[in-house]
Amino acid sequence: MYQEAIHFIQDITEEKLITVYAPINDEKWFYSTRIKPTQVEKEINEIFLERENSKIVIQSCLSNFNRIVYGTK
């Protein structure tokens, strides 16, 4: 699942800005940045490690791309 998220992020690098949303500990978590693949990979990996059955929503700034990625331990 982690690799699926990374491949999706790499596919939308031409947009240069994405939002990543994930519910962790019943709180909404947002991550918006100019794409730096290494930094985004680290953030996604931490989400998947922190919570079993994690869900991440990845969306481009123009909403042209949208992907939900599920991860399990």
For 9-34, write each residue's pLDDT tens digit: 666 555 545 556 655 555 555 555 44
Report pLDDT digits (tens) over 37-65: 566 666 666 766 666 666 666 665 555 66
Q: What is the CA radius of gyration of the chain?
A: 11
What pLDDT does residue 3 have?
73
CA distance 70 to 62: 23
What's phi and psi for 61, nearest 5 deg? -65, -30
Structure tokens at 7: 């491949």
d(CA 60, CA 19): 6
Give, in degrees to the nearest 5, the angle at Cα 55 between 54 and 61. Answer: 140
